[in-house]
Structure formats: C-alpha cells, structure tokens
Structure 1
C-alpha cells in the first residue's frame, strides 16, 4: 500500500533573487542560520497550512479594524492594513551594528536640531548652508530658542533604511516631527504572535513591550509638575487624517488620553483638557500634529489642530511637548548631505550608519552632477518628506523628464537627489508559493534621560517593485513583522501592566469626558438606533411583500411605504397616488433602496455615519463593540443587487444587521461604566428611538384604514413589540391596546413614554452649572414632553373624529416630532458646542505658512 506525502512549504525551495541581497538565503543558496527555525517550521506545513495562517491574519486585521487612509487621484480612501504571514528575521550581529548606528544618529540629529534652533554654530562655520534653514518654508522664527522638555528636543524618532547588495544598511531619510508607523508595527507583532505563538519563541525573538514600557515611563517623567500620576495626552489631527487608526491604537495601548485641538484650552499659561466637568491640566502632550499647525495664535492662523496659546504654555514651562515644536527641521531631506560633516564637527566621529548618497541641488556643483546623472537618481522635494511623491527619471517619458529638468534649473534649492539603491529581498507568501519581494525598514528610537533605546524590530514594507518603496508608509504596500533574534534568552516578564505594589487613588470617573467625545458618542447612539429602526421597518415590509399574497391584498403596505418615506429610506413619490405608476415596482425598489447611498437619511448613509462616529471615539469604546461596528460597515459594502424573485437573501441580510446592531447595543449597555460617555450614547439612542417611533406612528395609525388589524400587527412588528402584545392580548388586535403599548406604556422599552422617562433621568445625571437657577432648557423640554405623554389617555388617543382622523394622536405625535429636534439642539447647546477656529492677531496670512 503506497502513501502520498503531503507537499510542504519548504524555504529550501524558495528561489531568492540572484541580483539582490536576500534576507533569508545566502548567495550560495543556503538558508541563513537565524532563519533556520522558520525554515524548519515551514517544512512541516503544507501550502494549505500556510494559506490558512495567511487568511487568519487577514481575518484578524479585519476584526480589529486595522485600516489606513490613502491619498490618490480619486481622493482619500480607507483601506485595510496588509500584513504578510511570514516574518522578516534579522540576526543579532547585524542588528547590534544597526542599533549602534541608529543610536549615534539620534544623538547627532538632537545636536544638529538644537544648534539650528539655537546658536547656529553649524551655519556660522559653513558646515550647513544657511539656505537649508532660511529657505525652508517649514521654518518659523517662533521655533528659535523655544524651551524643550527636560532639555531634549527629540524623544521619539524614526529612521528609514534599506540594505544594499553587499549587506550594508543605508539611511534614506529621518522622521523627527512625529514619526508614523509605531502603532502599525505594534499591531503587526500582536497579530503575528497570535498566529505563530510557538515559532516566535523558538526564534528567541526580542520583545517589543520593553520599548513601549520605556516610552510610557519616559513620557510620564517629562511632566513639569504632577509627576506621580500626570495626564499624558496624545494630540491627533482628527478627521480623515492618515494617523486616524494609529493614534487611537497607541492611546489605548499606552493609556494616554487621545485629544484633538478643540479639546484643549490654554488658561493662565497652562494647557488644559476641556471636559464636561471643567478644565483638567495636561502635563505632557505627545503631538502628532504638524509643527506649524500647533498654535493658531503664533503659527498658522487657519489651523484648528492645536490649541491657541500652546507656545506660551511651553515658554512658561507648564507643559512638556514631545517632540518639541520645530523638530520638523531635523527631518529636512536637504540636511542629509551635511550630516557626516556635522558629526565630525560636533563629535569628531564618522557616521557608522551612512546616508544614501544625497545631493542638494542648491549647490551649483551638486546641481550640475544631478542633471548629468538623472537616470541613476531619485528626485525629491528638498524640504518636505511627505505630500509630494518622489520623481524617478528612469521611469519618466522624455517630455516629463524635460519638465523636471526645467523645474530643477528654475528652483534648484527646492530639490534633492538620491542615489537609487538596490533593496534587499525576503520571502513572501503569494498565491501558493514563496517569492522574493523587495523590503525597506523604518526603525524607531526613544531618547531618554539615560540615553537612546532602539526598538528591537522595525516596520517592514514590501513590494514586488522597488520603486514603490520610495513612497510613504501609506502607499498601500504589504507589511511584515520584523523579528530580531537573540543569542540570549528573552525576558518574557516585560509587560505594560502596573506593578502589583503600585498605589492608586480610587475614584469614579466621568466628568473628564471632552465635549467633542460626548458629541460623537451622542450621534453614534442616534445613528445606531436610526439604523435599527429603518432595518426593522424594511424587514417588516419586505417579509409581507415576499409572501404568497398579492399586494392588493395587503392593506398595510401603503402605510409602511409612507413610513419608509417619512424616515428617508425611499422616495416620497411612492406615497403620492399620481406618481406611483411612473416609479419602479415596489418589489424591485425596496431591495435597491437597501444599497442606495443617495438617500442622505437612508440605511447606507446611516451606517456610514455609525462607522465614522465610532472611528472618532474608538479609544473610548470597547474593542468588541468596535469590531461589531467594523463588521456592520464591511457587510454594508456588499453592493450586489438583490433579485426581486428571491427575497430570502435580502431578509437574511436585514436579520444579520439587526443582530449586529443589537449586539452593539448590548455591549454598550452591559460593558460600559455609567459615566457621562455612556449617558450621551444612551441619550442619542433614546431621542432617536422616540423620533423614529413618532414618525412611524404618524405615518401609519393616525389615519385609520378599513382592515386595521394587519396594519397594527405590522407596526408592532416594526417596533419589536408584537410578542409583548400577543402575550397580553393573544390575537385580539385593537387600536387602543396598540397605541397604549407603543405610546403610553411606561414599562415597554419601545414605547414613547419609556424613551422620555429615560431621557429625563439621563439629563438629570449630567453636570450642571452651580449658578443656574431652576431647570435648563433641555430639562424643561424633556419634562414638558414627558408630561404630555403621562397625561395622554390611550382610549381617547384611539378615537377617530368626523374627518376620519385620530386627531388627538396626531396632535401628540406632531408635538413630539417638533419637540424632539428642539430637545436635541438644547442638549447640544448646553454640552456639545465647540468654539470655532481662533484667528491670529499677527497679520501673518496662511499663504506665508504653507
């Protein structure tokens, strides 16, 4: 009896590029020693096994909502993060040399930046041309001699490196303002270690937690005053900025407060967090906002990304800002050619980690060389590291190359050229085999009081095309977890958890909620409830039209369509008798409406708003809740038209959406402490549920129809109250009982009265102004609406007048429909209003700062 061996995914069969240095294999085709554990592991796997692990990583990326924003010709889009299933491994000896070079470079950049923004000895001694500073549009005089946090300007830096064919590491650029990628690097490690928990230990891989522990401890140590337990805030640009995911991820992991510029206020020379309970001092600000956008008073008057007066607070030594404002100058590409000379001048040392050959075109000799050797160079902006992509003359047409030459000749000081390097390769799983892709690394350094700590790993970017790696980290390439192997045993005890003997002051939090966060939570609640209401109404309608009865035998359908039109899901023409004949059939229209984004209040637009608001406060909601919202967003992207001959798929889709929305509501209610954040989320839900219910009842029950039992059952079904009704009244469906259950019943979580009772209780628990006498406008409105419902008699509400209208019910519903938006506005006016952009008084226009 013969047996067939399972095919393995062996690295021995991996065909490395013969023209590039390969990280996995030596030139003679032998697997490098530090890759042997990986090779042994993959030897035991079948192609199906490695494919399953690749799919698991992709699934985890989706579940965690790991995304990044990409700029393209079509605008900014959000894409899932891409992570290779195979790690990159660096041997201890190679890493030790690289680590020493990175530490040396960090110290040099600190000294050069301190000189440029201080005594400027390097310019006086002609080590660095003065134009590199004075012609730089990102330089502001306000940066000069600005106080630093604990005497350092650079705390967190990054260095972009590649390995050439001879195995030498070369620096292609520095990131000193607010280097991106640290959060993605951490996510890569967490996901990879979950898929390969044993392998990462077998390789004796150095851990990352120690670096992040040092980072958190260092940030806390920078506090100028309350050092025992200082408030450290991470300042993010907000909106659709490319740092959206990463900033929230880092803030949650490190336990920092995520803030935007409008969350902050400078009072009396101190930086504060604006919260519902008042101002709270911020000791350390880790900024991920551009230097010139940090303070609209002294820098860019058009910016709202930073608080007005931040530079004043820095000069008063009341806040430590990391990295210091002005640190953007150290990452200037035009500075690269002069760093070796600066190192010799300042320290008497040569750089052990060399720059890739870089030429600043502001020098005539250098410019002439660049123009004569364009085919071997990459052309970049001299002062910016992002925004404008590099130009690769060897890949350009003659016409484009001629335009580039003319631009360089016209403004030579605005360009630098770098020698094109051959990037090393590493194995990547693609399809059903291992193939070599080119790799570039971004390494991270932390400068503390005791020296420079280099993160043992890097953010590895990969591409089958070398030119793609010349672009930014958000260019959409595949990424890879980078493992640094160690010859010694790795400490497994490093953790970001506080030591067991740490003393904390017990408290109940809540008042420290920023009003911006409260606003997003409020609207997250509203949109989540709106989506559920629309989905339930759609399901109740679709279930009925997909049954065995003809539409003419379903008297409730016109009223259900009227309700869908009232909530903005379908065109109002479907409830106008004269227009129905000219519109598509209901059977085809309803399925199409589910995927229609053109209705601003429809289901698709509502789901987009859910995802958008959740993304803005992802550091404030649980990971499980955010995963549910991500799934809702992904499922809604299925734009496959539904077949009106088979409504089963549509009904199942609506069922799944309702289940997910209920799961989110359950987590938000059962796993969230009763802070003001929870209250605003619940306020949004209750106001929206009341509004949607009132609109539905107004469209369905105000004007009685001949066969009202079917309509009442449909309304009860859409409001998730049919089971409750039947438990009370069995199959005896009457208008007065239906109205009682949905309008005046204080025990039904779906009734109007229940919503107003909850709204009133939530409002009374929000912070109030001690100087306020009597009720606030929001409290008065809520009390008035609740009083109307308490006084309502369901029997009288069900009565029909001579014109065939339940006029009392109509009057009550109209009062709610008009009053609920006023209540929402009153809550916003009291708690959620933010100040607008502050303009500078200097007269400096925005064009001078761009």
Structure 2
C-alpha cells in the first residue's frame, strides 16, 4: 500500500486535538507534509524496514539504558523510533531565547541561594521553598567558583500546551542526562534516513558539542592550554552509564569513579598507575548528596572525600556545582515570573505549567478544593513514586493525600494536568499517536548560553500512559530542527585550538580502569580455559554413555575431580557432602550445576557474569566490533540458560560457539586498545590467569602416577583441552609420553601455550609497568615472577616425570614445583593489586549527619 498522506491520516487517530502534525485549524503543517512526502517514496513497508535497521544499528552499537529491577535484564536496549520529531527553525528561535533566559535566571537564583539570599530576604521566594528542599546543602553556602557562571549545563523538559506553544514542565540542573543519547539518536537516524535527513535541512549538532568541549576547557580554575578533565560516573549500574561511556569516548576525557580520585594538599588528584595526577575539571554525573562522603552522605561510595574543600579553595571546577539540585524544584515555578522581573526586569519568554505551592494559605485551599483535577508533587524528587495523579486516586487515597498536604504544606506543589501533545510513532508496524516530552540542553559558552538545536524526545509506551519516562518503558525520537535554507555546516567534529587531553599512556590511566582491564584479562582467560576443559570432559561423559564403560572408571574420576580443582567448586567431585552424597553418583547433575548455577562461585555462569561485568565497566574503551562479539556471547549464553535444554549435544554446541566467540573477542581487544593505554594490564591479567589454570590442569592430571593406559588417556585429554594435540603429534611424531608433554605444555620457551612462555611473557610485560622502571631494584611482583621463571628454566622433564620409587604414586618433584608456582603467581597478583589498585580507606565524618530521602 503506498504511503499517501490521505491513506496514512485516515488510519491515524489521536484522543487529543493537540497533535504535532496539525495546526490550530486541523491542517497539516508544511514541514510535516514534506516529511510525509519523503516517506511516500518507500511506502509503509519501507518505513517498517528502516525501523528494523534502526533497531539493528542500536543493538550493534550496544546502546543501552539501565532499568532498575527490570525482569528483562539490567541493560535494556535503547528504543529509537524511526519517525523523527519536527520543529521549524522560526519557532525554535523563540524557544532558544526562552531556554537561554531560563538558564540565566536559574544561574542567578543558584548564586543568590548560596550567597546573599536577597530573593528570600525581599520576600520574592518563601524561605521554605529553598530550605525545605533536600537539594539545598548548607555545606555549599558561600562557596565561590572560579568562573562567573555557576550553572554550566541546564536542561528543560518541554511539552506543547493547548495554546500551541512549548511549555516548561521541569528544570534539570543537578547532572542533566540525555545529551549522549540525543547524539546517538542523531547518528543513527542520519545513517538510516540519509536522503530525508539532507532534504529536510536539519540543523546539525556538531557546533553544540564543539561548544560543550570548549566550555569544559574554559571551566578550569587555572587557565592553561590543556587542563586535565575527567567525567565522574557512579559506575556501570547507573541508568545512563552508556551515555557516560559514550561521551567519554566521544570527547576523549577519562571516565572515572569516586575510587579513582583522592584529595591531597587541597587539590584533587586522579590515581594513575604512575601515581597522582592533578585534576582541573570534573564533569559530574554523581548526585549532589553522594559527591563528598566527608561532608555529605557518609555512606556514599560514589564521591570523593574532601571534594568540597578543594572546591572552596578554587582548586577544581565541578560541572555542575554540588548543591545545584535545589534548582530542580517545582516549588520555584510559581515564583519564576517574579524572579525574572527582579533580576532581568523581563517577562518569562517560555510559558510554564501552572503551579500552586501549598505553603501559601490561599494556594493550599485552592489545591485541596480542586485536588482531583491536579497533579501533586513533593518539591524535591524524593523518589519516582512521589508524583500523584489525583484523578486516578481512590477516595481513601485522596483523603490520605489531603492529610499529608495539611501536615507539611510547604513540601507540596500542585500542577495542572496537561495533555502532552502527540506525534506519529511507528508501533508494531502501524503508525499511531503517542504523547511525548522533549528535553532541550543549554550550556554556558564564552559569549552566553548556547542551546542544542534539537534534544532528546521521550515518547509514552502506549496510548493510555500519562507519564512519559524511559524507566517506565518509553521510547525515543530524534529531534529535528528544520529550516527552509540548505544546511552548510561542517559534518566533522573540529574542536577549537585547545584540545582535550586524551589518555596517552599508562601514567594517565585511572587506577580503577586499569584494575578492570587487569581483571577483564583474567576473566576472559578463565572463561576460555574452563570452557575448553569442560568441553573435553563432557565429550568423555558422552562416550561413556554410548559404551559399556563404568561411569565411575578411574580415568573419568580423575577428570571429574580435575573439573572441581580447576573451577574451585568444592566439594564437587572431590569430597562427599555433609549428607554423605557424592557427585560421582550423578556426574551430569554436578556438571550442569558447574555450568549453569550463577550463584555458585567458580561456575561457568558465574564466571561469564563476572567477565561481562568487567568488560561493561570499561566499555568506553571498546570498538564497535568488540561490542558486537560481546553481545553475541551474551546472547548465546542467555539462550542456553533460558532454553532448559541440557542434553550433551546441546552443551557441546554451546561451548563450541562460546569458545570461538571468545577467541574472536580476544583478537579484537588487541586491535582496539593500545598497549600504552591499558592493553598491557589486560595482557598481564590474561597470562596470569591462564598460567594459574594451566598449572591446576597439569597438577590434577599429571602429579599422580596411574596405569599406563589410563596415563596415556589423561595425557591425551590434557593436550586436547590445551588445544595442543596436533602440535604435539607434529612436533614429536611419537607415542604420547609424559616427558614430551611436560616439555611442550610446561617447559617450552617458544610455544605460546606453554607455561614457561606465558610466565616469561608476564615477566616482560610487568617490566613495563611504571613502578618497575623507577630504579635498579626489582618490585616484589617482579621478584615473584622471576623466581617462578627460574624454577621452570631449571626444571627437567625427565626428573619431573619420576617417582621416588617404583611403588610410589605421587610425582613429588612435579607436585612440589606446581605448588610453588601457584603460590608465586598468587603472590604476583596480590603484589600488582596492592601496588596499583589499592584504594583509600573509608574516611568518616566527625559529626554524623542525616539527610531526608
């Protein structure tokens, strides 16, 4: 069916008259007509196909939004609708002026609230509106900042009112989110709809992000060409962590967590591998109360102890300043017209949602008398459930709400219920109207505030939903500001003369990032070695099932005990349980637990979860190809977990898929990160883990002497799990002998899979770490690895193969060597951790403070 305007609109309906496509006379707006004309060129099916392309591209790029307690998983895919949201340039010009005016007003209010407080003294804003808001932090009183502008980043939530104008619904000043998602939305739609994007003359975003970069550079308290700037994130569990990592990668600034930073001598420092590096600017994505556990919330692990003291000394700039959450206060809205008159002698350019603060008797009585027609909010956003749509409340709930308002009226503000405008959305292949809210962003530039020509559009998940929220399942749209004239802006990202300092070496690597790279190497190594060994054991179990061989044969018992030793899932096959049961009685039951029990440390599922967490924590360092392979690994494993199928053939198929993807992933890591940018830490972790597990395999299978046939089989199993059987046959062309296996797997200096080669590689890599190069003395971790390497180089396979007497069953020298090597490698790991990854102990407040929630 062709997508003609008539056919589309005949099936397009909205319960509200306020739709973005239509003007006051119910006529189709010209710019929407132009968009429909472009869509007509490929029809409904073409539009559906492009929506699939959008979904695919977002998934390929790993765009996610974290939803707390989501049954679908933590990292929900970002949803972007293929149909953009349109605003004409001549309308947007007026909106821009209004946003700039509002940002300037809130900046002035913020300065006044923590300064002279003239607005309160002269009765323009009631003191309860400020002091009753949990965002007002007395610890920030009187702080002066190096730059004249306090509010560097501002975001306004806008919705079109019944008068056809865009109204301000909410102000966001604490740590406004959405800029990164808006940029990703633009990147995606411009790739999927390139012809339409060009034909519609859409305003570009590159200039805004150029100004954003310059704003961060200019924020430095010490004016220098390349100030040290970091982006402070709460971590990978935060709902917008993707955005933090995305902007870190896009702008080139390190992404740090609270543990990466420390206060010393009145300055803020980043802990790097080399030592401390002074920080000039922090783009803060951590909420105010969690920013400094010494002066604010003592239980915070997200901030930096002593941060506010550094700010007072003007030795660091925080964007936005701590304490700015008080501006996210709907109780301020009724007083904003008076504020505009007081500071600027102007009327508000942008209309606001009608609001009544209940701290005033007249307004409170109006709210109580008209409660069922209003939306009731706390003046501070204590939690997402504190918004009451009174029309949906029962009589009992209304009475309860009235009691709460009467008890503490200053805490409540009422707002009129407005019907957000609707816009076309592609839903399950059909075009339907959905409510939407836009978020527009504004930054402080040298010549005044600058507004992003577009923003983030959030769309309700269904027709009936009143609240528009990503946490509640909403989707998104790209925001197009369209104009009549062709766009000639440069598509490239050309920063000003000053440029950001990128991570240029190990000395610039944040300690937590370095630690995550180290453990990323260990977990990927552990996952691969475990998968290969378990695959080999499962194959032997399958052969036993198909033959008359006793499932509790000696060589199978050795293999199964080796699984327990390798994974650390004791008691496993090694010991009986307290109830006297033995896993040997039902080996497949225990193997399935080792594979699938995510709550069992050492299991494959637990290891994959740890592997996923470590890599997600450093996703700002990833390439797109790495994400695609990573997602494929997750998909394979989650599908296996949820399938309920546990046949041997299914397990082997999944392990084969997992192993090949892991190998591809490991190859991509080496292509994506420079050695001096942290890949060295990954290599050390990988080789260390593979060495430890190689020792565990060899010790379990080789330290005990068995009958000739059993020993031959065990040697073959070891070579198979080590992916070394073909190399052995090619190298030795003989019957498999223990001495030759030890030579190849343990002692060969040139074979990359041998233990000696890996420990030698560790020795070379750790010599490049910063503290290894300070003087002629070896660091402790260097001593341990050198000792391990020396023991291997002095060892003889013929001596290691012997027992004390023919009647002895334990190869004492081999077992002792493996025990010593294991101890030395664990000490190496601990020494590296204590040298480079140790974080400061928690600092406690002298006086305990409590903060309302």
Q: Is TM more than 0.5 here?
A: yes
Quick check: 1:552 aligned with 2:550?
Answer: yes
Show the counterpart of 2:439. Answer: 442
- The 3-state SS of whatever aligns with 1:675 is helix
Q: By how many angstroms is 1:507 displaced? A: 11
Q: By how many angstroms is 1:744 displaced? A: 0.9
- What whole-Å deviation, never above 9, does each CA across 1:542-583 have from its counterpart, x for those lacking one? 333345545538864333322221233766443558977777
Show the counterpart of 1:727. Answer: 730
Instruction: Report if aligned partners of 2:156, 2:168 keep a CA contact under 8 Å in 1.
Output: yes
Distance change in 2, residues 1:798/1:371 (3 Å): same
Show the counterpart of 1:813. Answer: 818
Q: Structure 1 CA distance, aligned partners of 2:602 and 2:67?
A: 27
- The 3-state SS of whatever aligns with 1:839 is coil
- The 3-state SS of whatever aligns with 1:71 is coil
Show the counterpart of 1:295. Answer: 292
Q: Structure 2 CA distance, aligned partners of 1:580 and 1:697?
A: 28
Distance change in 2, residues 1:96/1:550 (3 Å): farther
Q: By how many angstroms is 1:604 displaced? A: 1.3
Q: For structure 1, which runs of at least 5 residues remain unmatched after alignment?
A: none
Show the counterpart of 1:170. Answer: 167
Q: By how many angstroms is 1:421 displaced? A: 0.6
- Taking only aligned residues, the RMSD between alpha carbons, in angstroms, comes to 2.8
Instruction: Report if aligned partners of 1:16, 1:425 keep a CA contact under 8 Å in 2.
Output: no
Instruction: Report if aligned partners of 1:336, 1:358 keep a CA contact under 8 Å in 2.
Output: yes
- What whole-Å deviation, never above 9, does each CA across 1:757-791 have from its counterpart, x for those lacking one? 11111221111288877322212211111111111
Q: By how many angstroms is 1:510 displaced? A: 2.1
- What whole-Å deviation, never above 9, does each CA across 1:264-303 have from its counterpart, x for those lacking one? 2333333222212222222222112222332333333333
Distance change in 2, residues 1:583/1:351 (3 Å): farther
- What whole-Å deviation, never above 9, does each CA across 1:351-375 have from its counterpart, x for those lacking one? 1211111121222222222222122
Distance change in 2, residues 1:584/1:803 (3 Å): closer
Moved more, 39-48 or 350-359: 39-48
Alignment of 1:139-154 (within 5 A): 139-154=136-151
Show the counterpart of 1:566. Answer: 565
Q: Structure 2 CA distance, aligned partners of 1:731 and 1:124?
A: 95
Distance change in 2, residues 1:505/1:201 (3 Å): closer
Instruction: Report if aligned partners of 1:149, 1:321 keep a CA contact under 8 Å in 2.
Output: no
Q: Structure 1 CA distance, aligned partners of 2:757 and 2:279?
A: 40
Quick check: 1:390 aligned with 2:396?
Answer: no
Show the counterpart of 1:244. Answer: 241
Q: Structure 1 CA distance, aligned partners of 2:21 and 2:503?
A: 53
Show the counterpart of 1:414. Answer: 411
Show the counterpart of 1:221. Answer: 218
Alignment of 1:58-457 (within 5 A): 58-72=55-69, 77-384=74-381, 387-457=384-454
Distance change in 2, residues 1:709/1:389 (3 Å): farther
Q: By how many angstroms is 1:584 displaced? A: 7.4
Q: Structure 1 CA distance, aligned partners of 2:796 and 2:115?
A: 78
Show the counterpart of 2:539. Answer: 543
Q: By how many angstroms is 1:622 displaced? A: 3.3
Instruction: Report if aligned partners of 1:378, 1:391 keep a CA contact under 8 Å in 2.
Output: yes
Show the counterpart of 2:608. Answer: 607
Q: Structure 2 CA distance, aligned partners of 1:414 and 1:420?
A: 19
Give the counterpart of 1:511 among 504, 507, 512: 507
Show the counterpart of 1:694. Answer: 695
Alignment of 1:34-45 (within 5 A): 34-45=31-42
Show the counterpart of 1:640. Answer: 642
Q: Structure 2 CA distance, aligned partners of 1:550 and 1:497?
A: 72
Q: Structure 1 CA distance, aligned partners of 2:137 and 2:504?
A: 44
Q: Structure 2 CA distance, aligned partners of 1:791 and 1:577?
A: 39
Show the counterpart of 1:774. Answer: 777
Q: By how many angstroms is 1:155 displaced? A: 1.1
- The 3-state SS of whatever aligns with 2:457 is strand
Show the counterpart of 2:832. Answer: 827
Q: Structure 2 CA distance, aligned partners of 1:507 and 1:338?
A: 46
Instruction: Report if aligned partners of 1:8, 1:45 keep a CA contact under 8 Å in 2.
Output: no
Distance change in 2, residues 1:453/1:577 (3 Å): closer
Show the counterpart of 1:762. Answer: 765
- The 3-state SS of whatever aligns with 1:544 is helix
Q: TM-score, normalised by structure 1?
A: 0.93
Distance change in 2, residues 1:505/1:819 (3 Å): closer
Q: Structure 1 CA distance, aligned partners of 2:811 and 2:760?
A: 24
Moved more, 792-801 or 419-428: 792-801
Q: By how many angstroms is 1:848 displaced? A: 4.2
Quick check: 1:525 aligned with 2:527?
Answer: no
Instruction: Report if aligned partners of 2:229, 2:501 keep a CA contact under 8 Å in 1.
Output: no
Show the counterpart of 2:662. Answer: 661
- What whole-Å deviation, never above 9, does each CA across 1:62-121 have from its counterpart, x for those lacking one? 222222222349899332221112211112233222222212211111122222222212
Q: By how many angstroms is 1:383 displaced? A: 2.0
Q: For structure 2, which runs of at least 5 residues remain unmatched after alignment?
A: none
Distance change in 2, residues 1:624/1:569 (3 Å): farther
Instruction: Report if aligned partners of 1:558, 1:575 keep a CA contact under 8 Å in 2.
Output: no
Q: Structure 1 CA distance, aligned partners of 2:332 and 2:469?
A: 19
Moved more, 432-441 or 723-732: 723-732
* Equivalenced residues, count: 842
Q: By how many angstroms is 1:753 displaced? A: 1.2
Instruction: Report if aligned partners of 2:583, 2:590 keep a CA contact under 8 Å in 1.
Output: no
Instruction: Report if aligned partners of 2:63, 2:78 keep a CA contact under 8 Å in 1.
Output: yes
- What whole-Å deviation, never above 9, does each CA across 1:138-171 have from its counterpart, x for those lacking one? 3222322311242011111000111123322221
Instruction: Report if aligned partners of 1:462, 1:469 keep a CA contact under 8 Å in 2.
Output: no
Instruction: Report if aligned partners of 1:232, 1:257 keep a CA contact under 8 Å in 2.
Output: yes
Quick check: 1:752 aligned with 2:755?
Answer: yes
Q: Structure 1 CA distance, aligned partners of 2:568 and 2:101?
A: 62
Q: TM-score, normalised by structure 2?
A: 0.92
- The 3-state SS of whatever aligns with 1:355 is coil
- What whole-Å deviation, never above 9, does each CA across 1:457-486 have from its counterpart, x for those lacking one? 121111145785536543331111111111
Q: By how many angstroms is 1:620 displaced? A: 2.9
